[in-house]
Amino acid sequence: MPAKYPGIRKTADGSDVVVWVETHISQGACAYPITPSTNMGQGFQAAVANGNSNLWNEPLVFLELESEHSSASSCEGFALAGGRVANFTSGQGLILMKEVLYTISGKRLPCIFHIGARALTSQSLNIHAGHDDVMGVADTGWGMLFAKNAQEACDFALISRKVAEKTKTPFMNIQDGFLTTHTLETVFLPEKEMMKEFIGAPQENLFNFMNPSDGLMTGVVQNQDSYMKGKIAQRFFYDGIVLALRKSMKEFSALTGRSYGLIDEYKVKDAEYVVVGLGSAMETAMEVVGDIRQRTGQKIGVLNIVSFRPFPTFEIVKALRSSKAIAVLERLDIPLMQSNPLTSEIKASFADAVSSGLIKKMPHIHSGVYGLGGRDTRHEDFEAVFKMLCGAQKKNRFFSLGIKHKTALKRPAQKKRIGSLDTFSLRGHSIGGYGSITTNKILATLVSDLFNLYVQAFPKYGSEKKGLPTNYYLSIAKNKIRSHCELTFVDYVALNNLNVFRYANPLDGLCAHRNTALLTTRVLSRVA
């Protein structure tokens, strides 16, 4: 039986889909957007400037404050007055809000903050993907859902909102900066009728703390005799989140046909060796698992963590209890911790399961770091991880991916394209200021809209100034595209500026068939 609301097919990035949802269901947004969350704030503000109203014919409001801290405080005030509000932020912006995040959760205000997860300035400035920011606020009492693609960023915007208002707990809807926020993909946007039915009007679910006829004291000063009682009493709200999250995901699935859980298992049921992680790279890992299983028959799998808060201890242990070894991959590094955050929580989950008698022993747990600052994480990196796991090493081990370092796993040589055989891939070489990245997005949209194909347009953004080299990538296929990495093997190379030959061979990885051979000949003759 087809779903009641299958969605509106569209080509959009992770920022676009968040704007689509929030401009329909929210009453306002308070933000001081920072790269790479800026497009979300701009999109919401554009809707306000155009005079748009939400699904209940209420005019939208956008407040741009003088700092991220102020924007979070404004969200607090908006929610205290019974309003449905959103925020968009990343990196240092999220960390600057931290003081207010505790207050919002402590007052049980169901705000939704959309995060384009970004590396923090530590040994250098970087504006690209990292999980430093979100892990830096993981102790503030907020729910945290991680999307691995634009579709999930869209759907989790609705699911997190529903759960937040049911449990009076704020949530973060997290996606990888640039890798998801700025990558165009084929998505199915929720229909207006679906959002209205699933979420309900703000007045139906929210409480106005400022209503003088229904007075309630909040945010008071409490001394030794009272503070702890109030703090522990907060567990009443948190204890119900897992149940509410499962229920909301089930309701969402019934309406749309798109199913979600606290974890996302890919070929884990019979797997002896499993990679565990968060975010967009897990889809690339899934592509590799399918290829290795087909070639070698090795029992390997991927476990993607959807809900980091609440942490799905039971689901993780149940899924991985028969595994011989697992590798937990993280997009940040905190050397002074016993292990990095996700690894630590998984170790604790298994330790509790063993001590309670739920399982007899833990799998061997390895911990790896990848993709810091948006560094490309390739199919070969995941092949190296599975090779290490299947080597049956008996002790825990820290490793890194994609760099030259004593901790790094060596990439095997990639000899072929991994993924669907019907995928057409393009790699473009240009320089900043040519408009090539925008052209690539337009091309992806036209192909998707005209030929009903799946697309993924990935721009390699950088902090380079106008005139310096840049790359862009486009994949087109009959089915969903899962790889989130730079393309090595391509069917077509676009050269927007021939100066590329001065610093690289842009024809590396060009697949040898008639059309691309002809293209190569034309390019080389032009250069000559």
Q: 449-491: per-residue pLDDT in tens?
A: 999 999 999 988 876 556 778 889 999 999 999 999 999 899 9
- Are both 396 and 284 inside the same structural domain? yes
Give me the mean pLDDT over the 99-120 stretch.
97
- Are both 329 and 375 inside the same structural domain? yes
Residue 509: pLDDT band by 50, 70, 90 thresholds?
confident
Strand, helix or coil for residue 8: strand
What does the mean pLDDT of the chain come to?
Answer: 92
Q: For residue 451, what is the domain's CATH number?
A: 3.40.920.10
3-state secondary structure 41-103: HHHHHHHHHCCCECCCCCECEEEECCCHHHHHHHHHHHHHCCCCEEEEECHHHHHHCHHHHHH
- Are both 237 and 184 inside the same structural domain? yes
Name the token pair of 452: 């009903």
Percent helix, strand, coil in the chain, to 5, is 40, 20, 40
* Structural domain for 486, as ranges: 424-527
- Residue 101 CB contacts under 8 Å (≥ 6 apart), including other chains: 72, 137, 140, 141, 142, 170
| Most distant CA atoms of the chain, gap in Å | 83
Give me the mean pLDDT over the 143-162 stretch.
98
- CB atoms < 10 A from the CB of 390, how many? 17
Residue 517: pLDDT band by 50, 70, 90 thresholds?
very low
Q: For residue 330, what is the domain's CATH number?
A: 3.40.50.920
- Are both 377 and 326 inside the same structural domain? yes
Residue 393: pLDDT band by 50, 70, 90 thresholds?
low
Which is more confidently placed, 293 or 435? 293
* Residue carrying structure tokens 């825990």: 396
Give me the mean pLDDT over the 481-506 stretch.
86
Domain boundary among 351, 384, 400: 400
The long-range contacts involving 163-168, CB below 8 angstroms and separated by at least 24 positions, are: 163/241, 163/244, 163/245, 163/248, 164/110, 164/111, 164/112, 165/110, 165/205, 165/206, 166/205, 166/244, 166/248, 167/110, 167/143, 167/237, 167/238, 167/240, 167/241, 167/244, 168/108, 168/109, 168/110, 168/237
Q: Would residue 413 count as lying in a domain?
A: no
User: Is the distance from CB of 14 to CB of 62 less than 8 angstroms?
Assistant: no
| Distance between CA atoms of residues 488 and 33, nearest Å | 33
Q: Would residue 303 count as lying in a domain?
A: yes
| Lowest-confidence segment of 204-213, 244-253, 299-308, 325-334 by average pLDDT | 204-213
- Are both 116 and 226 inside the same structural domain? yes
Task: Please tell me the number of Cα atoms within 13 Å of 49 on its side-chain side.
Answer: 7
- Are both 179 and 287 inside the same structural domain? no
Domain count, the chain: 3
Strand partners, 263: 305
pLDDT at 399: 96
Instruction: Write the pLDDT tens digit of every residue in 39-70.
Output: 999 999 999 999 999 999 999 999 999 999 99
- Are both 184 and 278 inside the same structural domain? no
User: Is the distance from CB of 109 to CB of 207 less than 8 angstroms?
Assistant: no
Which is more confidently placed, 420 or 223? 223
| Distance between CA atoms of residues 74 and 95, nearest Å | 16
Phi, psi of 384 (to 5 degrees): -65, -40
pLDDT at 464: 59
Residue 33: pLDDT band by 50, 70, 90 thresholds?
confident
Instruction: Write the pLDDT tens digit of every residue in 169-202.
Output: 999 999 999 999 999 999 999 999 999 999 999 9
Q: Would residue 436 count as lying in a domain?
A: yes
10 Å CB burial of residue 313 (0-12, 13-18, 19+) is middle
| Angle between helix 14-25 and helix 150-167 axes, rounded to 10 deg | 30
| Distance between CA atoms of residues 290 and 418, nearest Å | 9
Strand partners, 144: 172, 309
Phi, psi of 471 (to 5 degrees): -130, 155
Q: For residue 133, what is the domain's CATH number?
A: 3.40.50.970
How does DSSP classify residue 15? H
CA dihedral 506, 13, 242, 100 (to 10 degrees): 100
Which is more confidently placed, 360 or 393? 360
Give the Å distances, CA to CA, from 43 to 15, 76, 92, 128, 316.
8, 22, 21, 20, 37
Closest by Cα among 150, 111, 363, 159 to 261: 159
| Distance between CA atoms of residues 163 and 153, nearest Å | 15
- Are both 82 and 174 inside the same structural domain? yes
- CB atoms < 10 A from the CB of 470, how many? 22
pLDDT at 395: 57
H or E element in which residue 247 lies: helix 241-256
Residue 434: pLDDT band by 50, 70, 90 thresholds?
confident
How does DSSP classify residue 385? H
Residue 522: pLDDT band by 50, 70, 90 thresholds?
very low
* DSSP codes of every residue in 185-197: EEEEEPPHHHHHH
Bond before 506 cis per omega within 30 degrees? no
